[in-house]
């Protein structure tokens, strides 16, 4: 059975019982991993803990933890805790987040993101292996950090969320896997090559780095509603400068220019109108199950070894998740 993962959006409209039932449903239908997002609202770790208590097999990943809001030690402690609760099923997904959310929302300086993440991964990995860690890096220095007796029996794999070239190369250098926040077919092969380049430069076997990525899917016969939700999702991300660069790299300069004009005129709903059908088709898929499954297999054939569906809900959120999980079950 081919690998397929599921991304849950951590929607506040879903109760803990809802999230647990979706996790149980995904496990029942053969999904191998669940990735839980974190932005505004509830944190991802407590949601994954809830799913862990309702499941027994499926992997549980943070998709992703913004690194500037947590220290290496507290992140390792959380990883050890979830590894214990889930009986070794936890996957630690880390990312740099973005400057406005970090500095305005958390009140923390957004400095040296690449080196900060490199130091985070190295420190956390050593802590999870039971070491007493003293580390003087370019961005982080710690002395005598330790998990004590709480070292997990199976250290969590560490994935890095990446879009740009430097972050993709870093994933290849230091991570167990890369998590592509968006998976555009036109950019996928280049992204994978950058990860491989990073691994080779670090003296690693590129095949040891898992290639995982989100694919936005709307399984629906209501194509207008599905495409509207996809446009809104792209427009929401297009408000961030790091995502604008990614969308430009995938060939959509004109769309980004129009979206920014709409934003600058305080007309955010119009941003979605700037997202044309070609851009939608590149960044997601809308239609019946067989159309969505065909796109998954297309990306798999291009090297996306661990595709993760990111459902775009149409109608009731829980019902939409349930329909999608069942329709695309591997």
Same domain, 89 and 190: yes
Q: CB-based contacts of 17: which residues, under 8 Å, 6+ apart?
A: none
Same domain, 295 and 152: yes
Same domain, 84 and 183: yes
Record the tokens describing residue 144, joined without a space: 């005598």
Same domain, 121 and 257: no
CB 171 within 8 A of CB 195: yes
The pLDDT of residue 261 is 59
Same domain, 154 and 190: yes
Record the tokens describing residue 254, joined without a space: 């004109």
The CATH number that applies at residue 148 is: 3.20.20.30
CB 311 within 8 A of CB 247: no
**Structural domain count, the chain:** 2
Packed helices 253-264 and 223-238: angle between N→C axes, nearest 10 degrees: 80
pTM, to two decimals:
0.95
d(CA 255, CA 252): 5
Looking at residue 206, the DSSP 8-state letter turns out to be G
Same domain, 70 and 159: yes
Same domain, 234 and 270: yes
Same domain, 46 and 105: yes
d(CA 330, CA 238): 31
Residue 233 exposed, middle or buried by CB count within 10 Å (0-12, 13-18, 19+): buried
Question: What is the number of other CB atoms lying within 10 angstroms of the CB of residue 29?
Answer: 15
d(CA 96, CA 162): 9
Can you say whether residue 30 is alpha, beta or left, with left for phi > 0 and alpha for psi between -120 and 50 degrees?
A: left
Same domain, 16 and 59: yes
Name the one residue in this structure whose structure tokens are 């809104």: 232
d(CA 258, CA 130): 51
Same domain, 174 and 233: no
Same domain, 236 and 313: no
Same domain, 100 and 172: yes
d(CA 283, CA 278): 9
What does the pLDDT profile of the chain (330 residues) look like in tens digits? 799 999 999 899 999 999 999 999 999 999 999 999 998 789 999 999 999 999 999 999 999 999 999 999 999 999 999 999 999 999 999 999 878 788 888 898 999 999 999 999 999 999 999 999 999 999 999 999 999 999 999 999 999 999 999 999 999 999 999 999 999 988 999 999 999 999 999 999 999 999 999 999 999 999 999 998 998 888 888 877 778 888 887 888 777 777 665 555 445 565 667 788 888 899 999 999 999 999 999 999 999 999 999 999 988 999 999 999 999 999
d(CA 1, CA 112): 41
Question: What is the number of other CB atoms lying within 10 angstroms of the CB of residue 237?
Answer: 15
Q: Which of 39, 8, 29 is nearest to 237 (CA)?
A: 39
Q: CB-based contacts of 217: which residues, under 8 Å, 6+ apart?
A: 284, 285, 286, 292, 295, 309, 310, 311, 312, 324, 328
Domain that holds residue 232: 221-284
């Amino acid at each position: 059975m081919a690998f397929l993962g599921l991304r849950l959006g951590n929607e506040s409209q879903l109760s803990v019982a809802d999230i647990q039932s979706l996790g149980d449903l995904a496990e029942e239908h053969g999904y191998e991993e669940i990735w839980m997002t974190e932005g505004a609202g509830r944190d991802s770790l407590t949601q994954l803990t809830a799913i862990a208590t309702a499941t027994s097999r499926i992997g549980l990943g943070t998709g992703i933890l913004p690194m500037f809001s947590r220290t290496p030690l507290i992140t390792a402690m959380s990883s050890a805790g979830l590894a214990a609760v889930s009986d070794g099923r936890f996957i630690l997904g880390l990312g740099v987040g973005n400057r406005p959310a970090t500095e305005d929302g958390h009140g923390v300086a957004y400095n040296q993101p690449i080196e900060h993440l490199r130091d985070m991964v190295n420190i956390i990995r050593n802590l999870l292996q039971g070491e007493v860690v003293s580390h003087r890096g370019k961005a982080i220095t710690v002395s005598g950090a330790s998990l004590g007796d709480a070292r997990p029996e199976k250290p969590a794999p560490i994935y890095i969320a990446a879009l740009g070239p430097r972050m993709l190369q870093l994933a290849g250098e230091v991570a167990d896997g890369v998590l592509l926040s968006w998976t555009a077919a036109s950019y996928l092969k280049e992204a994978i090559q950058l990860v491989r380049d990073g691994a080779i430069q670090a003296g690693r076997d590129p095949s040891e780095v898992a290639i995982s990525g989100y694919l936005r899917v709307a399984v629906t016969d209501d194509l207008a509603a599905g495409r509207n939700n996809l446009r809104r999702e792209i427009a929401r991300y297009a408000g961030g400068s790091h995502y604008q660069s990614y969308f430009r790299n995938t060939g959509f300069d004109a769309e980004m220019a129009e979206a920014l004009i709409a934003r600058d005129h305080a007309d955010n709903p119009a941003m979605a109108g700037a997202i044309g059908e070609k851009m939608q088709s590149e960044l997601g898929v809308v239609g019946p199950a067989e159309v969505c499954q065909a796109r998954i297999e297309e990306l798999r054939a291009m090297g996306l070894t661990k595709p993760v569906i990111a459902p775009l809900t149409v109608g009731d959120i829980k019902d939409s998740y349930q329909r999608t999980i069942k329709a695309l079950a591997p």
